Structure 1
Amino acid sequence: MKLLIILGSILIPIAMFVVQKVWMKWRIYFNVVAVMSTVIFGEIAALAIYEILKDNTVFMTHIHAIFLNPLFLITGAYLGIYFLYRLMCLLYEERELH
C-alpha cells in the first residue's frame, strides 16, 4: 500500500501535467475540481472543530475521527496531487523563461 501511495503521488501529477499540455480544457477541469475539493475539505474540518467546541469535548481524541470521513480523505488526496501538479506547471513555465 505504501508503494502504491508513493507511486501514485509521483505518476498521477505527471499524467495530469501531460494531459493538460495535450488537451488545454483539462486544465480548467483540474482547477475546478481543486476549488470544489478545497471547499469540501475546509467545510468538513471546520464542522468537525465546531462540533468539538460546541460539545466541549476533548479535542485530541475526537478530532481524529475526521480521518474516518472518506470524503475528507479523497478531497485531501486530490489537493495533495493537485499541489504537486501545479508545482510541475510552475517549474515548466519558469524553465521556459530562462
Structure 2
Amino acid sequence: MKIIFLLLLIIVPLVMAYAALRFKPIRWVFHVLAILCFYSAATVIASDVYATNAHMTTFTTEIHHFLLNGWFLIPAAYLGVYIPYMLWIRLFTEKN
C-alpha cells in the first residue's frame, strides 16, 4: 500500500503538470482549488484547536482529532499532490 501511495504521489502531479502545460486555463482551476483546500484545512485545524482549548483539555488524542476529519483529509490530500505539481511546473517552465 505504501508503494501505491508513493507512485500516486509521483504520477498524479506529473499528470497534473502535463494537463496544465497542455491546457493553460486548467492552471487557474488547480490554483483556485488549492486555495479553497488550504482554507478548508486551516479552518478545521483552527476550530479543533479552539475546541480543545475551550474544554481545557490538551490530550494528544484531542489535539490530533482533526487528522480523522474528512474535511481535513481530502483538502490535505489535494495539497499533498499540488505542491509537487507546482515543483514540476516550475521545473518544466523555467528558462535559463
Q: Same fold (TM over 0.5)?
A: yes
> Which residue identity is paired with 2:66?
I
Structure 1 runs of 4+ off > 3 angstroms?
Answer: none
Q: What amino acid maps onto 1:10 in structure 2?
A: I
Residues matched between the structures, number: 96
Q: Which runs of 5+ in 2 are unaligned?
A: none
Give me the whole-angstrom Cα distance separating, in 2, the residues matched to 1:53 and 1:22.
48
Residue 90 (structure 1) aligns with: 90
Q: Which residue of 1 aligns with 2:66?
A: 66
* Counterpart AA for 1:4: I
Gaps of 5+ in 1: none
Other-structure match for 2:28: 28
The equivalent residue for 1:54 is 54
Once the 2 structures are TM-superposed, how far is the Cα of residue 92 of structure 1 from its aligned partner?
1.8
Classify the secondary structure of the residue corresponding to 1:63.
helix
Deviation, structure 1 residue 9: 0.4
What percentage of residue pairs aligned between the two structures are identical?
Answer: 32
Decide which structure has greater helix share.
Answer: 1
**Displacement, 1:58?**
2.1
SS of residue in 1 equivalent to 2:57: coil
